Amino acid sequence: MQGDSADSATGRRPEPFGQESMEGGVPVVHRSPWHRRVVGALLGCCTALLGLLYFVVPGVLSGPFVLWPRTRRRSLAVLSAGARRLTELERRRRSAFFGDLFPEHRASDPEVLRYLAVRTCAGVLLGVVAAFLACGAVLAGLLAVGVAHATTGWQTLLTQGLLGGVLLFLNLQGLFSLGALDARLAREHFGPSERELLERRIAELAASRAEVLRAVDTERRRIERDLHDGVQQRLVALAMLLGRARRNRTPEQAGLLLQQAHKESQEVLTELREVAWRVYPSALDNLGLEEALGGVAQRCAIPLHIEFDLPLPLPRTVETAAYFVVSEAVTNAAKHSGATRISVSVKGDGRAVSLCVRDNGVGGADPTGSGLAGLRSRVDALDGRLHIDSPSGGPTTIIAELLCV
């Protein structure tokens, strides 16, 4: 679309850790099979032993140099360099066996040492708990052999089974808790912390609210301009025609003026109807989104093909935003792109709606323009994503994704 365009964006909503996404540099996880995660946890016990060995040998040897003020900075730098390599090993382990994806993030030397120390303690403790679980499994096997050979009485079996069940519960709780601690440590070290994510989210919501307010003010000014420059001027012309017809004493001239006034009144009604549709289409409430988009196709001067595939009714706010996204994108294409054909695709799965508007115009849309600023604000207000692809020579494609929840 040759005219103004919204900024290309892929959405700025940070996803929480553990979602299938990679938004705003936030770490995410693609769920790995349980057996792969078990192998990764056991491997983490081995890397924890490496960390423990590193703190025992190089850490103890560099202790005097760290305590001496003159060599403290250099000793910490050398010690942190080795710790950073072990930390990178932990990062690769989390990525390979747990599916974690982390953004590029370089922590300071104290943060690296702190993470490695806590991770080492957690990994060693996890190894101890896993060893207890293995011992419990061996004891359970011996108890089963004793029952099979009738060397163990039912009273002993009941006592041992009750005690083993309690210990098994505590053991499994410890394993899951230490596994969650490992994931949390990795998330806070390799990616933004929960506080940083919260601050980022607050800043984005504040920016989104400001954009919505600006969009509302812009929409009000546009409506006022349409009414003042369009409808009001036509009504003035209509009043002048009726005044001339009333003052004219010749029936033929009066009839001609009344005919012009009737034609002007029809044009006023048409323009007023267009303004009302741009404010809010009544078909959206009465007939739904598909019929409302059909009205956009009827009023568009360029051939417009709409592909509509939504299995479920949309929430009212999402439906309204989807209509205006398509309507404003089509209007922008019709005014500025020089296109001869526009296609619109509306698809969804009940959780999100994907809108795609494509034209075969000359492309080269200006990402810093204001023509689609309202469109961008509508998408951001619903935590949606907006992407604009408009290479020079075309075609121009606008894709908006809106969440239904």
- Please, are residues 231 and 272 in contact by the beta-carbon 8 Å criterion? yes
Residue 362 confidence (pLDDT)? 83
Q: Mean pLDDT across the chain, nearest whole number?
A: 79
Q: Is the pLDDT of residue 121 over 90?
A: yes
24 vs 343: CA distance, rounded Å: 31
Nearest in space to 277 (alpha carbons), one of 261, 258, 255, 299: 299
Q: At what angle do helices 34-56 and 109-148 cross, to 10 degrees?
A: 120
69 compared with 90, residue with greater pLDDT? 90
Q: Is the pLDDT of residue 193 over 80?
A: no
What is the pTM for the complete model shown? 0.50
Cα 86 from Cα 112, distance rounded (Å):
10
pLDDT band at 23 (very low <50, low <70, confident <90, very high): very low
- Is the separation of the CB atoms in 375 and 325 below 8 Å? yes
pLDDT of 31 over the 80 cut: no
pLDDT of residue 323: 86
Average pLDDT over residues 38-64: 88
pLDDT, tens digit, 9 for 90 and up, residues 380-391 = 778 788 888 888
Give residue 20's pLDDT band: very low, low, confident or very high (50, 70, 90).
very low
Banded model confidence at residue 16, pLDDT cuts 50, 70, 90: very low
3-class secondary structure, 365? coil
Q: Which residue has the higher pLDDT, 201 or 85?
A: 85
Using pLDDT thresholds of 50, 70 and 90, give the confidence band for residue 4. very low
Is 80 exceeded by the pLDDT of residue 285? no
CA nearest to 350, candidates 314, 306, 308: 314
Residue pLDDT, tens place only, 201-239? 788 777 777 776 776 677 677 777 777 777 778 788 888
User: In this model, does residue 339 exceed pLDDT 90?
Assistant: no
* Confidence category of residue 3, pLDDT binned at 50, 70, 90: very low
343 Rama sector, left if φ>0, alpha if ψ -120 to 50, beta otherwise: beta
Does pLDDT of 134 surpass 80? Answer: yes
Considering only residues 402 and 366, tell me which one the structure prediction assigns the higher pLDDT. 402
pLDDT tens string 286-330: 778 888 888 888 888 888 888 888 877 788 888 888 888 888 888
